[in-house]
Amino acid sequence: MSGFEAVLQAPAKTPYDEYAIQVVDVKKRYGVGEDAVLALRGMTFHIEKGEFMAIIGPSGCGKTTLLNILGALDRPTSGKVFIDGVDISQLPNRELALVRSRKLGFVFQDFNLLSRMSVVENVELPLFIAGADPVFSRRRALALLGRLGIAHKAHKNVNHISGGERQRVAVARALANDPKIVLADEPTGNLDTRNTEMMMGLMKQLNKDFGKTLVIITHNPEVAAHAQRVISIRDGSITEIKTN
């Protein structure tokens, strides 16, 4: 194991490796001086392995800030974040990228599919970024599309498929690297009722059938009702953690 790879290994038996995610007194400040915004004011919680957790709260309360930190896209100003037992709060960029690429999958609002590319190429993207073998990547992407029922659209441009099909491509892409944890920021934010229900069906499939720990951010209480637990946030603080 190289030193670089060692980053991905949790130190032997920490109090933190029993959870998928452990957040300890995390604060995040944007900017300095008078313009500083304290977006997260000290959050402590954990997410169990295999759990489906929703994070809910009004606009500007800090949901995306928190998800960016959980997703190794940003660092807290203070506090600690353990992903699968590894403290990512102080990791340098290269190592943060490695954790992101190996342990985490993402479903973005509006899905962020690359429009010049085909369905299968979009699903291959995380594998490409992780430096996987192209033949393996193609086989894995096609297998995932098969499990999600859209293998027959694999070579279509993503602009030439339906909204429901795009949801499935976004979910397949989040699963490409076989991450332990999938993070979704408002995956139903711009969807109508029918497509919201379809997306929630896919999210449950991802959690139950694929066995992924799932964290969803939402404004929508009906979406949060599908989760096992719900964290409510207001003004950068947790106000409640509720079990459904």
Ligand X SMILES: Nc1ncnc2c1ncn2[C@@H]1O[C@H](COP(=O)(O)OP(=O)(O)OP(=O)(O)O)[C@@H](O)[C@H]1O
Neighbours of 228 (CB within 10 A): 15
Is residue 30 near ligand X by the rule CB under 6 A? Answer: yes
Choices 42-50, 57-65, 122-130, 149-157 (CB under 6 A): range interacting with ligand X: 57-65
Is residue 53 near ligand X by the rule CB under 6 A? Answer: no
Is residue 230 near ligand X by the rule CB under 6 A? Answer: no
Which residue in the set 11, 31, 146, 201 belongs to the binding site for ligand X (CB under 6 A)? 31
Choices 61-69, 95-103, 114-122, 141-149 (CB under 6 A): range interacting with ligand X: 61-69
Could you give the CA distance from residue 110 to residue 185 in angstroms, rounded to a whole number?
A: 10
CB distance 88 to 99 below 8 Å: yes
Is residue 188 near ligand X by the rule CB under 6 A? Answer: no
Which residue in the set 56, 61, 144, 206 belongs to the binding site for ligand X (CB under 6 A)? 61
Three-point CA angle 47, 52, 56, nearest 5°: 85
Could you give the CA distance from residue 142 to residue 225 in angstroms, rounded to a whole number?
A: 32
φ and ψ at 36, to 5 degrees?
-65, 140
Radius of gyration of the chain (CA): 18
Is residue 59 near ligand X by the rule CB under 6 A? Answer: yes
Q: Which 157-216 positions form the footprint of Mg ion (CB under 5 A)?
A: none
Which residue in the set 19, 47, 52, 65 belongs to the binding site for ligand X (CB under 6 A)? 65
Is residue 64 near Mg ion by the rule CB under 5 A? Answer: yes
Which residue in the set 11, 60, 149, 211 belongs to the binding site for ligand X (CB under 6 A)? 60
Sheet holding 86-87, edge to edge: 37-48, 19-30, 78-83, 86-87
List of residues contacting ligand X (CB under 6 A): 30-31, 37, 39, 57, 59-65
